[in-house]
A and B are shown apart, each in its own frame.
Chain A
Amino acid sequence: MTASDKTLIRGARVLGGEPQDVLLAEGTIQEVGRGVQAPGAQVVEAEGAVLLPGLVDLHTHLREPGREDSETVLTGTRAAARGGYTAVHAMANTFPVADTAGVVEQVWRLGKEYGYCDVRPVGAVTVGLEGKQLAELGAMHESAAGVRVFSDDGKCVDDAVIMRRALEYVKAFDGVVAQHAQEPRLTEGAQMNEGVVSAELGLAGWPAVAEESIIARDVLLAAHVGSRVHICHLSTAGSVELVRWAKSKGWNVTAEVTPHHLLLTDELVRSYDPVYKVNPPLRTEADVMALREALADGTIDCVATDHAPHPHEDKDCEWGAAAMGMVGLETALSVVQHTMVDTGLLDWSQVADRMAHRPAEIGRLAGHGRPVAPGEPANLVLLDPAYRGQVDPAGFASRSGNTPYKGRELPGRVSHTWLRGRATVVDGNLQ
């Protein structure tokens, strides 16, 4: 199928509302309404299914270049498409680090070539993620990749002066610094959330204050220099309070939460199964509830996967030797449905806001997270919310299977994804 073909999506609940027909042609949405006639169009019967704008991920580890054993731009964007994503922001902690125009252009070009999902590279804030010297942020912005989001993710920009300068510097091209908030001294050797469970298990603790102290500093810095700052993978109730406070001041602060922090707690670590090892770590039930509430009331702007593939051997070992991270692209929408929609905290139009509109806006990404309306780019996802099924990593498009949901029943299934009118997923199968 080519972009010039017509597709008629019949009877879909647009943003979860009343059933409507949606006609796609030439990469854009042509018509939205009832009884749309389109002779010769490919028809997708979508009764009962929900149609949303294609999802946008602000936080994806595609691993290429350097760790192609765990993921590549190809396998990662195929996984993204299967999860309903039409754009992902590829994190900079690759080998070599995405700290030059050359590396970000390479990643961007690969994404464009494969065509499953738009790839927006994130540029490193500092050279080699070392936290010492600013990377050429302007050059990465001016490159074909057009970088707007900068992050040393995996590491915290812990030097207050470097952070201040980065926040100031990217104002020149409306960039944003996305902070992995982790005070390094407070988390040396940290293995899991510091609390009742870590005390029993004898695993070195990653205290909430190590996240919160950096967030507190950075929102103050952003306010001081009049910049915007984005907080990656917020994980504690205290972090929520800080972001709420910063927003109440009118400061330009945005934040994301991962699907796993909306569902899982540190009680799971009692198994010592490294599939639950992630950074920031799984927190407590009280934190999970605070994060859900904050995503519902808009304190947290968006959901970001922090999709972090690792090869089997890096998880098939003892806890201390295991890598941190979980894959998430192919389960994100199901986890959000389970934790936020089925609980009544969000409706589908709000899911579109938290998973498409807001992340595109924060990343200043044109053509994504747009309304489902005539004239808009045909970046769309169709999902069946009534579906129930067990997660089976053997069926993932991702090269890695380090999912914490293996064997767990989750609701919802992506049936179709369209990238500028071209179907990347049909009936759950990659095209």
Chain B
Amino acid sequence: MKRHLISAADLTRDDAVLILDTAEEMARIADRPIKKLPTLRGRTIVNLFFEDSTRTRISFEAAAKRLSADVINFSAKGSSVSKGESLKDTALTLEAMGADAVVIRHGDSGAPHRLATSGWIGGSVVNAGDGTHEHPTQALLDAFTLRRRLVGQEGADLAGKRVTVVGDILHSRVARSDVRLLSTLGAHVTLVAPPTLVPYGVESWPCEVSYDLDAVLDTSDAVMMLRVQRERMNAAFFPTEREYARRYGLDGERMARMPEHAVVMHPGPMNRGMEITAQVADSPRCTAVEQVTNGVSIRMAVMYLLLGGSSPSGPSPSTTQEPGMQHRAGSSEENN
């Protein structure tokens, strides 16, 4: 794996499978009475959030703490836009504090890429969502959930699985990461949205696009519903909430047309009544809560692999006491 996780495109199939398999190990640890590993003891992970996202921050924080890392939460909301403290100055501060990894959420697409390539900091950078660009750990937890539900086998990818992603593709960093990662893992991805919410230029993406949800339901192994902000209708992306829900929302009737084994996914938070009805959201076929749990395992795996173990053939976390310490010298050399 590379030193940073900025885009799902940074991951090869084998990288991704390694992360999913490592996350399975991490999930097993979560079932033990003592949920902590000493792997990243003495390492500092900074959660640098320029946008509010309590859900994502808590997930990264829980993951880091279960690996015994020191966690610093740095909230710098809105500072880049208001030209208060710049990303660069913040980065230099974190570097001075000795951050081994920076988990960054930022409203500007490309901010994590800038952080990783500008020379401002030496540690690893993990993208926790940037603008309308990417959210790679979300895609990884989606892939993890899909593999558990549809394949149920470690070491495997998602070859041949048909995943339909429905909603505001244009503004969705989750959709961009999902398309890249799920296709890397062999899945067939179909995006469904009103044409106004499909990006201009989408033809280069490794997926198909449909404007008709009903046409793809019966061939989907999973249907992932994306949150659609009600405000979008004010910018004429769709006429009314009611029309959006009618054409692109998932209700019980539509869910019944999905194959019996197919699951419903949602990255949360859900807009009940908009893209998903309460009946679907609360059904056992909906994996939304499971995705949250899986998110912690995935983020543990990502931080473990970026900061600790690195080789696919290396020791697994359940059999080695402190793999992070063994690799530390190597990674700090790379940082200079």
Contacts and interface: CB of A to CB of B under 8 A. Distances in A.
A203 interface: yes
Contacts of A191: 109
B271 interface: no
Given A320-B80, A321-B80, A202 B109 contact: yes
A318 B110 contact: yes
A48 interface: no
Contact of A195 (B81, B117, B201): B201
Contacts of B111: 318-320
A317 B115 CA distance: 9
Interface in A177-212: 191, 194-205, 207
Interface string B146-176: 0000000000000000000000000001001
A174 interface: no
A205 B109 CA distance: 12
A76 B80 CA distance: 29
B173 A202 contact: yes
Contacts of B118: 316
Interface stretch (B62-70, B128-136, B212-220, B294-302): B128-136
A313 interface: yes
Contacts of B110: 201, 203, 272, 318-320
Given A318-B110, A321-B87, A199 B81 contact: no
A271 B6 CA distance: 12
Given A198-B200, A199-B199, A272-B110, A317 B88 contact: yes
B176 A202 contact: yes
B108 A196 contact: no
Nearest to A319: B110
A75 B159 CA distance: 61
Interface residues of B, number: 30
Contacts, number: 83
Contacts of B109: 191, 201-203, 272, 319-320
B319 interface: no
B133 A202 contact: yes
Among A191, A271, A319, chain B packs the most CB atoms within 10 A around the CB of A319
B88 A316 contact: yes
A321 B86 contact: yes
Contacts of A198: 199-201
B256 interface: no
A204 B130 CA distance: 13
B114 interface: yes
B108 A199 contact: no
B80 A199 contact: no
B107 interface: yes
Nearest to B179: A200
A324 B86 CA distance: 17
B198 to A, nearest CB: 9
B118 to A, nearest CB: 8
24 contacts: A191-B109, A195-B201, A196-B201, A199-B205, A200-B176, A200-B205, A202-B134, A203-B131, A203-B132, A205-B200, A205-B201, A207-B200, A272-B113, A313-B86, A316-B118, A317-B88, A318-B106, A318-B114, A320-B80, A320-B107, A320-B111, A321-B83, A321-B87, A321-B108
Interface of B: 80-81, 83, 86-88, 106-111, 113-114, 117-118, 130-134, 173, 176, 199-205
4 A-B pairs with the lowest CB-CB distances in the bound complex, closest first = A199-B201, A320-B108, A202-B133, A272-B110
